[in-house]
Amino acid sequence: MSRKAEKTVRVAELKAQLSAYLRAARRGQAVTVCDRDTPVARLVPYPTAAETLPSKPPTRAWGETRFPAPLGRPVDTLAALLEERQSSR
């Protein structure tokens, strides 16, 4: 898909003519959105499957992933929560 020259549009015009600008993006044209002559966003064509980066499969299955051993000290989550709440009062 060939890219066309970029258009500039103010927010009010974009709101009034959104469908037309979405069609332009679908055809490959990028649009810069300006708020009081300051660029704030770009409406760009969504990449096709050929333009996206190829995905590669994971290097290992979830079951093969090794996690670190527990720290070995018991944690009383209720006591920790109550302590945190008391310190914020």
Task: Please give the C-alpha separations between residue 4 and each of 16, 27, 80, in angstroms, as whole numbers.
Answer: 22, 9, 59
Rounded CA gap, 10 and 53, in Å?
32
pLDDT value of position 1: 45
> Which CATH superfamily groups domain 1-47?
YefM-like domain (3.40.1620.10)
Instruction: For the chain, give every domain's residue range.
Output: 1-47
Task: Please list the alpha-helical segments (H only) found in 2-76.
Answer: 11-16, 18-26
Amino acid, single-letter form, for residue 66: R
pLDDT value of position 89: 62
Full pLDDT tens readout for the chain, 89 residues: 445 678 899 999 999 999 999 999 889 899 999 999 899 999 998 887 666 777 777 787 878 888 888 777 788 889 889 988 987 66
pLDDT value of position 88: 66
